[in-house]
């Protein structure tokens, strides 16, 4: 285990990289990190020791980042892969209104990669991307594990611990009929940039995060914490699988239906370069935007910006019809006509992609 435990490099190849277990642990411990107020004991022992805030509950999330599924080594910069690995988990915490406490990384590397200097540089860049984002949010890397991958693919798993005031975590299950549906930021940008990335033969250069909604997604931690602190949201979810799918998840947990207003959906600037027929599916179904979708009572004034992030009203919640077992989402056009919006976002363990 790395950090709060051992970092174990399983035997890699005839000529393993020189760093080895102790060298990699030392490398990690030298990296500047923030957030140690909640970390009593971190990297170097068998377990991490955390000190959660008083009167709080612990929330836990875990997310895979799998080469060939979530990234391609020849098109995605290693820094972006590390950033995205952590951002996925941070977005889950944001949806609960949680404050991050610590991160735990498990990383499996192919023998051919781990045995070379190029592979060592890839790992260094991966960790740099992850730790830079962690530092921005005060999240210490407190533990994890390393191993040889059973395939030619890199496998990374991030576990994040956060805290929320006791009994106050935002959930998917609190939406009520007549609640208003809001979304942060803009939609479809991650899917649009992914299409660009896949057309390239080499990793794209990284600039500022606003230009890279796919490569450098930004978890809305401050917004989620503000929603919890101000008591604005009745339900919340992060948009990782696409608007059409994630809104359905929220409706399922709250036992309600929803109506979306097509004209109100905030489109990412990257969609403006595409014809309408190509942009519309990305707006509705494109995943990994990592924006927050939340509901609030119609009597509550929700600001147009929260913590500097735009907030847009995009629909409302309606009562589920009697005898209806599955949630229904309707898409309303500007002329008032409606049609069912079927879930078209990502769903693991199916062939319908």
Query: What are 215-259's pLDDT values in tens digits?
Result: 999 999 999 999 999 999 999 999 999 999 999 999 999 999 999
Categorize the per-residue pLDDT at 8 as very low, low, confident or very high, splitting at 50, 70 and 90.
very low
Cβ-proximal residues to 198 (8 Å cutoff; 6+ apart), any chain: 72, 75
Q: Which residues are registered as beta bridge partners of 182?
A: 294, 313
Q: What is the mean pLDDT of residues 91-118?
A: 90
Number of domains in the chain: 2
Residues 128 and 238 in one domain: no
CATH value at residue 233: 3.90.650.10
Quote the mean pLDDT of the chain: 87
> Residue 4: inside a domain, yes or no?
no
For residue 321, what is the DSSP state?
Answer: P
Residues 288 and 223 in one domain: yes
**pTM for this one?**
0.88
Provide the pLDDT for residue 16.
Answer: 40
pLDDT over threshold 50, residue 128: yes
Report the distance separating Cα 44 and Cα 117, nearest Å: 24
How big is the CA angle at 70 (ends 68 and 76), to the nearest 5 degrees? 85
Report the distance separating Cα 87 and Cα 89, nearest Å: 5
> Residue 328: inside a domain, yes or no?
yes
Residues 139 and 44 in one domain: yes
pLDDT in tens, 182-203: 999 999 999 999 999 988 877 7
pLDDT over threshold 50, residue 11: no
Domain holding 132, by residue range, is 20-165
The answer to whether 221 touches 94, Cβ cutoff 8 Å, is yes
Residues 322 and 210 in one domain: yes
> Residue 13: inside a domain, yes or no?
no
Categorize the per-residue pLDDT at 271 as very low, low, confident or very high, splitting at 50, 70 and 90.
very high
The residue that leads in pLDDT, 221 or 46, is 221
> Residue 205: inside a domain, yes or no?
yes
Choose the weakest-confidence range: 123-132, 208-217, 280-289.
208-217
Output b/e per residue, 62-95; b: 16+ Cβ within 10 A: ebebebeebbebebbbbbbbbbbbbbbbbbbbbb
Provide the pLDDT for residue 203.
Answer: 78
Residues 237 and 303 in one domain: yes
Cβ-proximal residues to 302 (8 Å cutoff; 6+ apart), any chain: 180, 182, 232, 296, 311, 313
Categorize the per-residue pLDDT at 25 as very low, low, confident or very high, splitting at 50, 70 and 90.
low
Residues 65 and 105 in one domain: yes
Residues 31 and 128 in one domain: yes
Strand segments (E) across the chain: 39-41, 49-50, 56-66, 99-109, 141-148, 155-165, 180-184, 235-238, 256-261, 292-296, 305-306, 309-319, 329-332, 338-340
Choosing from 139, 165, 191, the residue where a domain stops is 165
Residues 209 and 145 in one domain: no
% residues pLDDT > 90 (the chain): 67
Categorize the per-residue pLDDT at 109 as very low, low, confident or very high, splitting at 50, 70 and 90.
confident
Provide the pLDDT for residue 214.
Answer: 95
How big is the CA angle at 154 (ends 150 and 156), to the nearest 5 degrees? 105
Categorize the per-residue pLDDT at 49 as very low, low, confident or very high, splitting at 50, 70 and 90.
confident
Output b/e per residue, 148-186; b: 16+ Cβ within 10 A: bbeeebbbbbbbbbbbbbeeebbbbebbeeebbbbbbbb
Give the phi and the psi of residue 42 in degrees, each rounded to 5: -120, -135
Provide the pLDDT for residue 32.
Answer: 57
pLDDT in tens, 173-187: 999 999 999 999 999
Q: What is the mean pLDDT of residues 270-296?
A: 95
pLDDT over threshold 80, residue 22: no
Q: Which residues are registered as beta bridge partners of 62?
A: 159
Categorize the per-residue pLDDT at 15 as very low, low, confident or very high, splitting at 50, 70 and 90.
very low
> Residue 255: inside a domain, yes or no?
yes
> Can you read off the two tokens belonging to residue 250?
């929220």
> Residue 3: inside a domain, yes or no?
no
Provide the pLDDT for residue 347.
Answer: 52
pLDDT over threshold 80, residue 38: no
CATH value at residue 120: 3.30.1330.10
Output b/e per residue, 301-314; b: 16+ Cβ within 10 A: ebeeebeeeebbeb
Give the phi and the psi of residue 319 in degrees, each rounded to 5: -70, 140
pLDDT over threshold 60, residue 21: no
């Amino acid at each position: 285990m790395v950090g709060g435990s051992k970092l174990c490099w399983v035997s890699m190849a005839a000529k393993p990289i020189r760093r080895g277990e102790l060298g990699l642990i030392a490398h990690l411990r030298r990296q500047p990190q923030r957030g140690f107020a909640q970390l009593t004991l971190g990297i170097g022992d068998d377990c991490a020791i955390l000190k959660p805030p008083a009167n709080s509950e612990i929330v836990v999330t875990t997310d895979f980042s799998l080469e060939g599924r979530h990234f391609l080594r020849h098109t995605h910069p290693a820094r972006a892969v590390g950033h995205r690995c952590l951002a996925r988990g941070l977005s889950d915490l944001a949806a609960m209104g949680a404050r991050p406490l610590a991160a735990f990384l498990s990383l499996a590397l192919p023998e051919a990669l781990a045995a070379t200097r190029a592979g060592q540089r890839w790992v260094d860049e991966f960790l740099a991307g992850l730790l830079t984002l962690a530092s921005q949010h005060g999240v210490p890397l407190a533990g994890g594990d390393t191993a040889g991958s059973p395939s030619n693919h890199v496998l990374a798993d991030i576990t994040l611990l956060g805290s929320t005031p006791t009994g106050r975590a935002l959930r998917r299950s609190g939406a009520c009929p007549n609640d208003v549906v809001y979304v942060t930021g803009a939609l479809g940008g991650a899917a649009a940039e992914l299409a660009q990335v896949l057309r390239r033969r080499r990793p794209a250069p990284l600039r500022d995060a606003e230009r890279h909604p796919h490569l450098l997604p930004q978890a809305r931690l401050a917004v989620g914490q503000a929603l919890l602190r101000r008591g604005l949201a009745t339900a919340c979810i992060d948009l990782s699988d696409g608007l059409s799918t994630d809104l359905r998840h929220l409706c399922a947990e709250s036992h309600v239906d929803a109506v979306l207003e097509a004209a109100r959906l905030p489109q990412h600037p990257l969609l403006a370069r595409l014809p309408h027929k190509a942009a519309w599916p990305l707006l509705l179904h494109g995943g990994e935007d990592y924006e927050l979708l939340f509901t609030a009572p119609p009597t509550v004034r929700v600001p147009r910006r929260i913590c500097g992030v735009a907030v847009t009203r995009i629909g409302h919640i309606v009562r589920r019809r009697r005898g209806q077992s599955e949630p229904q989402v309707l898409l309303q056009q500007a002329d008032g006509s409606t049609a069912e919006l079927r879930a078209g976002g990502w769903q693991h363990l199916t062939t319908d992609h």
